[in-house]
Amino acid sequence: MEPRPEIAHWWFASIFLLLGLILLAEVIVGPTVFGRRPWRRYLWPATALASGVLLWLVAALSTFSMLHLIAHSIWAQAAMIAGAVELAVVRGLLRRPAWSLVTAGMLAVSGASFLVHEQNGWLFSRSAFLHHAIGWVLVAAALFPIGKAIRPRLAIWSTGFAVTVIVVAVLLYTDRDVAPIFGHLSEFAGESK
């Protein structure tokens, strides 16, 4: 039994919200206080890594179109690679700030996948709007890890990254498969459910 598409988006919205709150908590209390319990620092990379495994399952269930199969596969790999690299940073295996560029790259690739797999315009339907919005937000979010690689001590990068992840969660929560956006619905989009 497969859940409705918007339900699936809400599952992932919850994961993104969890990630965003973890990151925001670290920003609010500061990395020193946050790191007093070492396991806390593993939370967001481990969640990203695990969500990648989940996305393989979603990819396997996305054979209703080739583009969706490929897009979900890209997201799965991006989440696993970014999660593993950030875990390695937390473990001290990777020390150079430049390793943040891996996360930046994965965000950019994920955003590009969102934009490519949505071939309708922004105002075609709500899901089309959200795919464009999420795609561009993820591409923009890639700037924060890049900034962290260049100036690791500035808090703005962590703050911006945390807020961006929460914004993606909110966008995913507002998803409905076919629904009007700003009162508009393309004449091709059929009836809303």
Partner 1 sequence: MRRLPIALAGALLVAVVVPAVASAHATLGSTSPATQSRVETAPREVRLRFDQAVTIVPRSIEVFAADGRLVSGPVVAADRGREMVTRLQQLDRGAYTVRWRELSADGHIGSGVYTFGVGVPAPPPTEAVGASGMTWKDDVARWAAFVALAALLGPLVLWLVLLRSVDPGPRARKAFYATAAVASFAVIDVGILAFILRSSNALQLGFLDMLYGDLSPFAEKTRFGIAFLVMTVGFGVVALFALLAWVLDRPGLLWVTLGLGSLLASGWSLSGHQATEPNSSALTELADWVHLVAGSVWLGGVFGLAVIVWPLARDARRDAFLRFARLAVVLIGLVVLAGTYMAVVRLPDLSDLWTTSYGRILLVKVGVVGLALAWGAFHHLVVRPRLERGEMPRVAGRTLLGESAVAMAVLVLAAVLVNGSPPAPETPASGAVPAIQAGR
Residue 21 or 50 having the CB closest to partner 1? 50
> How distant, in Å, are the alpha carbons of 47, 63, 112, 132 from that of 169?
14, 25, 18, 14
Residues in the chain: 193
CB 74 within 8 A of CB 109: yes
Does the protein bind partner 1 through residue 138 (CB under 8 A)?
Answer: no
Select from 99, 124, 157, 161 the one that contacts partner 1 (CB under 8 A): 124
Select from 27, 87, 109, 146 the one that contacts partner 1 (CB under 8 A): 87
CB 148 within 8 A of CB 157: yes
Select from 56, 122, 136, 173 the one that contacts partner 1 (CB under 8 A): 56
d(CA 152, CA 91): 17
Q: What is the dihedral of CA 85, 90, 91, 94, to 10 degrees?
A: 50
Does the protein bind partner 1 through residue 46 (CB under 8 A)?
Answer: yes
Least CB distance to partner 1 at residue 25 (A):
15
Interface contacts to partner 1, rule CB under 8 A: 2-3, 5, 7-9, 11-12, 15, 37-39, 42-43, 46-47, 49-54, 56-70, 72-73, 76-77, 80, 84, 87-88, 91, 93, 118-120, 124-125, 127-128, 131, 177-178, 186, 188-191, 193
